[in-house]
Amino acid sequence: MKYKKIYKRSDMSLQDIALKTEYRSFQDDIAQDFYIPALKQAVRYKRAVGFFSSSILSMITAGLYEFYQHEGKIELLASPKLSRKDIEAIEQGYAARETVIERSLRRELLDYEDFCTLNRLNLLANLIADKRLDIKIVVPKGRKGIGMYHEKVGLLEDSFGNIVAFSGSMNESGNALEQNYESFDVFCSWQEADAARVMQKSADFTRLWYNLDSHASVQTFPEVTSYLVDKYRIGPVKPIKEIYPVYHPQSDEQIAETVDDNEAKVESQKSGFQIPKELRLYSYQQQAINSWRQHGYRGIFDMATGTGKTLTGLGALAALCEQKPRLAVIIVCPYQHLVDQWGEDIEKFKVHPIIGHSTSPQHNYKERLRWAVFSFNLEARDFFCFICTNATFAADWAQAEFAKLKEPSVLVVDEAHNFGAEKLMQTLQKNYTYRLALSATMDRHNDPEGTECLYRFFGDVCIHYDLGRAIQEKKLVPYDYYPVVIYLTETELKKYQQLTIEIGKGIYKKKGKIIVTQKAKTLLLKRSRIVAGAMNKVEKLREMMLEFKDKHDMLIYCGAAQVGIEDENLDIRQIDYISRMLNFELEMRTAQFTSKESMDERARRIEEFKSHDIQALVAIKCLDEGVNIPSIRTAFILASTTNPKEYIQRRGRVLRRYPGKESAVIYDFITLPRSLDEVRNSDAALGWHELALVKNELNRMVEFRNLARNFYVSDHLIDEIRDTYNIPITETGFVDEREEWG
């Protein structure tokens, strides 16, 4: 992807930025599209908000760094976030108002989760220390006690006197940018229709800033700002890499040139996919392609993660193009970053695809697809390739285009097990001439009907290349496996058992089939979150990381659950809790790797991970999404799953080959309800409520143990758990269908 970057600030002004009249958080990238480019041209930033959290400053640092360089100043008005206890303490005279407010402000200055934000926090602290960021607290004079200042207005002024005013629902916080549904309107002083409104908002802010508004009291809290500087200032401000790359909006002429250029490339494609001269497919990959050909170019590549599914699939398309020079190719992947990864590989096969997803560099991909289908049907074009996400593929407009498509066509679906879900299954109605499914986990867990539908549509398995064979043939590295046992706390166990009883009431058999009510499904999810967020996982990891705090090439794989159900005030995700612990308690260099990071930021963090600038990645879902981080040598898996195919897939991503990487080590956090000694000495009936959890954990241990180099390490623990709970070994594992539900 080639974009033209914004030039450094020189004679540019706020008038040179393409500003919209309204921004909405779920339609616009507010940091990239508004904050960063505006701050790069501003010399003064005035902001009035309901609540302030310094988290937003880590998201707009690219703009703030340049703002800092040209002596920009920030004035911030905010309201303290007072709890009910705080307000009662003030109203009943238990504590002075100033003391309570100061305490609440300190409470909001939480440690950041990400090592990458330390430099950004240093910038914030330096702005305050250099008297370039002033913070004042607004307490409205309500008719009944203490009110809340809830205004949300911003003013950005450049060196030419241009002012941009914005107002709306958004607070000055990271959540407002990333998670909440927020919107705000924008007004520009150089626009005649906006000028009076901008001046009024500027005057209102000034009156409040100097405490001239009779309806509010405005105060400074120097102790809080000093605390912030002492906590976060680590030295002089260093150049900071942009979190979000900011791009010049292309003109209509430039877009037209890009379209023409790409259309010319597509038009020149007469032979389709061609295997690159430097690529040598392994014998098993060639066998898979030959088998697909023998099955009439329909079938399934069931290949372990890390064994080259993508290249095998593209090699299969090259083989098809040799026989069928006239061909329409549709490729589908579950996520945008997978589409982009595929796109890079497709280019190597001498094909320039149409890329279809919401952030595609080809902004007019819908029109491109319509034109490609139209010209293909008219036989004015012999070949085109369209690659998109599952969401784009399932969209009504896309399905309408595919329905028009004349033969011959081929549908290739990556991570095809997802298409067993009901909504995606409905998109497999078109009679594509040729079909190819790629997956390491084709059989869907607890969904035989969805699995059967996939096999019926795509055909037979052309290759089954499992993890064991991949390790044996040195396509993946071997690994050592260490189960790490933790137990639920007393509160967690009690809640788990209560939910199990309630779940049992919502599961029954009807005509030989297990029926699970919607309420039971909801409770099952709630119960799984107790296990996923078990507090003792965090405590055990803290203990283990004392030994690993100077090492690198590590992955800590978390769940999306909250931690600590005992403390209702501890409303924090496991990944955030762990990140803060590693970065601030143990002073490690870790960074989060989740869906909220942009593709560019993810790529940057992978490079910093490879160079050991970052010791560990703290991640959610990356082992399930096709992310390629082959340099991982040590994995701590805290996230639990009951799906055998998922933890097979996760393991494969840790075992990818990498220069100098001879093997990998996996620490798997095994969650048991209680200590085994306690189980042996308790009522046997209590153990029944724990069987589902215990058997699921046993299944995973056995699966991981079977292919590990040090398989013997797990044997004693497996036998001890099995004997304690009186669990027999069956051919299909430890869990039968009824027991797994609860």
DSSP 6-68: PPPSSS--GGGS---SEEETTTS-HIIIIIHHHHHHEEEEEEEEEEB-THHHHHSHHHHHHHH
**pLDDT over threshold 90, residue 737:** no
**pLDDT over threshold 80, residue 574:** yes
The amino acid occupying position 393 is: F
Rounded to an integer, the average pLDDT of 220-231 is 76
Count of H helices and E strands in the chain?
Answer: 31, 23
Q: Which long-range contacts (CB under 8 A, 24 or more apart) does 170-173 make?
A: 170/25, 170/30, 171/49, 171/50, 171/51, 171/52, 171/53, 172/47, 172/49, 172/51, 172/52, 172/53, 172/56, 172/76, 172/78, 173/51, 173/52, 173/53, 173/55, 173/56
Number of CB atoms found within 10 A of residue 633's CB: 20
Confidence of residue 693 (pLDDT cuts 50, 70, 90): confident
pLDDT of residue 84: 63
The amino acid occupying position 690 is: E
Q: Strand pairing of 327-333 and 479-487? A: unpaired
237 phi and psi angles, rounded to 5 deg: -75, 130
Rounded to an integer, the average pLDDT of 19-39 is 80
Rounded to an integer, the average pLDDT of 136-150 is 64
| Letter string b/e over residues 704-734, b meaning 16 or more CB atoms within 10 A of that residue's CB | bbebbeeeeebeebbeebbebbebeeeeebb
Cα separation values, 291 from 280, 325, 431, Å: 18, 20, 21
Give the tens place of pLDDT for each residue, 617-669: 998 876 666 678 899 999 999 986 667 667 777 788 899 999 999 999 999 99
pLDDT of residue 738: 40
- Tokens describing residue 541: 């990891």
Confidence of residue 268 (pLDDT cuts 50, 70, 90): very low
CA-based angle 671:676:680, to the nearest 5? 140
Rounded to an integer, the average pLDDT of 584-613 is 85
Q: Strand pairing of 664-672 and 634-637? A: parallel
Distance CA 114, CA 582 (A): 9
**pLDDT over threshold 90, residue 524:** no
CA-based angle 468:712:486, to the nearest 5? 100
Number of CB atoms found within 10 A of residue 16's CB: 16
330's enclosing H/E stretch is strand 327-333
Question: By the 8 A CB rule, do 604 and 241 touch?
Answer: yes
pLDDT of residue 112: 60
Confidence of residue 174 (pLDDT cuts 50, 70, 90): very low
Provide CB contacts within 8 A for 431, sequence distance 6+.
none
Distance CA 118, CA 111 (A): 10
Cis peptide before 353 (omega within 30 of 0): no
Q: Estimate to the nearest angstrom the gap between the alpha carbon of 578 and the chain centroid.
A: 16
Q: Which of 2-16, 160-174, 179-193 has the lowest mean pLDDT?
A: 2-16
pLDDT of residue 368: 93
pTM of the predicted protein model: 0.70
Cα separation values, 225 from 100, 124, 139, 222, 231, Å: 16, 10, 18, 5, 10
Q: Estimate to the nearest angstrom the gap between the alpha carbon of 32 and the chain centroid.
A: 18
